[in-house]
Chain A
Amino acid sequence: MNRDDCTGDAAAYVLGALEPDEAERYRRHLDGCAACRDEVAGMRRVTDTLLVAVPQYRAPAGLRRRVMHTIHARPHRRSKPARLAITAAAVAASLAAAIIFAQRPAPAGPAAQVRTAGGHAELSVQHLAPPAPGRIYEVWLERPHAAPAPTAALFTVNRAGAADVAVPGDLRGVRMLLVTEEPAGGSRVPTGRPVIVAPTN
């Protein structure tokens, strides 16, 4: 798309300040303009941080009591029929997905092996899709009864979806290596579900 078509509305858009018809037009423009999509993504990171840029108070005790009273009163929040309905829908969806995939070569799911030597580990992954733009894979060490510990092992995969990653850090007590997709630069706590869970044995 020609850069001249860009209206410079990214800031007003992420602030929710466009009029409804303008916002709709801008969304359509974004569909075809990678430069504006990047600009929107960058500005959205700013507005996300603004959500904590307000004077900070403790939540009122009465609010906590009301919320906890409600959830303790209804511990099983999803009824059985609802769960079954969800399951049935999920089965239908996965059948649909299976039918779609059946028309293409079956993609192999991600696979991983861990080699350990001298208290260090090397993780080999295969069939892993590349991370989304601006994101990276991060390796975590999981020990029993502890939150996953971040490592400096940040990686992406080659065009075949494979990577060999040296994992720094002390492996004592580590049961699993986890891999999650994180913002470029990595995170201190995992922000997504693991895409790979590899036992260290």
Chain B
Amino acid sequence: MWEYSDKLKNHFLNPRNAGEIEDANAVGEVGSMACGDALKLMMKVDENGKIQDAKFQTFGCASAIASASALTEMLKGKTIEEAEKITNQDIADFLGGLPKEKMHCSVLGQQVLEQAISRYKGEAPKEQEGKIVCECFGVTDLEIEKAIKENKLTTIEEVTNYTKAGGGCESCHEVISKIIASVWAEVFPVIKPRLSNIQKIRMIEETIDREIRPSLQHDGGDIELIDVIGNRVLVAKRGTCAVCKASQQTLKNFVELKLRELVSPDLVVEEVPE
């Protein structure tokens, strides 16, 4: 049994604005029978862009019916510009909250509103944007990204609650977790832990041994780590490097780049004279 708020129960038991508007001029329709919920929104918008009337038809559970009822109540009297700002969280808030597993009902409300407004404005029907991630419920990567960003989702379960993606055969779970990771990586770029001096020196040594020296030795050259002072990496050229004219370039374009990439982005490589 779901814990529904009194307001939600009220909107479910006495849905406002259920029905059809014959001369609606802003209509949206989302969901399908296979998905388990579907919603049709009809609005009558006057010449000033004000929503005179809004009605819905829905196939869905109690919270889907209540979300649709809430949405139409919120829309009546608003201008299209105001209506555009309604988010799925606003719908949930209007109802005194939704159980987390039912958040997708409010997302459905937001989607149908978006579609109705864009059709009203005469915008070309959007092609299916993005690529389908969840085959079971036909959810695209862009929809998933949007839900993650707008609702700060961090787990697959949350993504399922909001978008239904991943709620069927679960074979897309790996892709969903990659999307979650990449969205969050945009917001919070990964930072490497601050290194102690000793750790830094050790990593520089290891990187030189593993990533740099083999390449140099391939051409008969070599470098020796002399010291690390702050961000300055002091090296001495050995072998053919010591006599090679291009070796200064190698230090900057290869050694320094590698060390910056693998150890710390602020390192500067300097050559110490013999």
Determine if chain A interacts with chain B.
no
B interface residues with partner A (beta carbon < 8 Å): none
A interface residues with partner B (beta carbon < 8 Å): none
